[in-house]
């Protein structure tokens, strides 16, 4: 099934200068970039985006990190894009990520893990709408 998913190259990925490497990995794996922009999230925007985690002990630290510098937000489209993107990213904790996944190559810790990807169709819809309007997304 052709799906769309939200991807974020987090501030550590932008600072390391690996935007191109990450986008190349998406494209080589059949994921098309159908929307893209660089944003510097405010604390409020980061808290809104990660609202499902607001009771977690890492919420403050995660939202501080997400507004520590610019990120690249993208919509990726392709066959089974949601699961495909999660496979390419690797496990949340870079220590557990399969070899050659993005988090294995570039991630530093469970928090500073370079990329975010939606985890399910409903989440993808909400997350895409959080950053992009319909006319900013192509196909
Ligand atoms: P992400 O895929 O963006 O979704 C939620 C984020 O919370 C996750 O990646 C990590 O960056 C962060 N996270 C998840 N679990 C932990 C944890 N135990 N400690 C710190 N950060 C975490």
**Nearest to 71, CA basis, from 129, 130, 7, 21:** 7
pLDDT digit string (tens) for 101-135? Answer: 999 999 999 999 999 999 999 999 999 999 999 99
* Eight-state DSSP code of residue 134: G
CA dist list (Å): 17 to 13, 109, 136: 6, 18, 25
Given the CA of residue 89, which atom of ligand 1 is nearest to it?
A: 2
pLDDT in tens, 36-75: 999 999 999 999 999 999 999 999 999 999 999 999 999 9
SS3 79: strand
Instruction: Give the predicted TM-score (pTM) of the model.
Output: 0.98
d(C-alpha 39, C-alpha 69), whole Å: 9
Q: Active-site residue 116, yes or no?
A: yes
130 and 120 in contact (C-beta within 8 Å)? Answer: no
**Nearest residue (CA) to ligand 1, atom 13:** 111
Residue 102 contacts residue 115 (beta carbons within 8 Å): yes
Q: Is the CB of 113 under 6 A from ligand 1?
A: yes
């Amino acid at each position: 099934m052709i799906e769309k998913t939200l991807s974020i190259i987090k501030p550590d990925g932008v600072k390391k200068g690996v935007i191109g490497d990450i986008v190349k990995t998406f494209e080589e794996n059949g994921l098309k970039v159908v929307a893209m922009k660089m944003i510097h999230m405010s604390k409020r925007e980061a808290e809104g985006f990660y609202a499902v985690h607001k009771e977690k002990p890492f919420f403050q630290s995660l939202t501080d990190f997400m507004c520590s510098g610019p990120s690249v937000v993208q919509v990726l489209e392709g066959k089974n894009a949601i699961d495909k993107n999660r496979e390419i990213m690797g496990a949340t904790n870079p220590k557990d990520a399969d070899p050659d996944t993005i988090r294995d190559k570039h991630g530093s810790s469970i928090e500073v893990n370079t990329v975010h990807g939606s985890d399910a169709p409903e989440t993808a819809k909400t997350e895409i709408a959080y950053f992009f309007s319909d006319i900013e997304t192509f196909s």
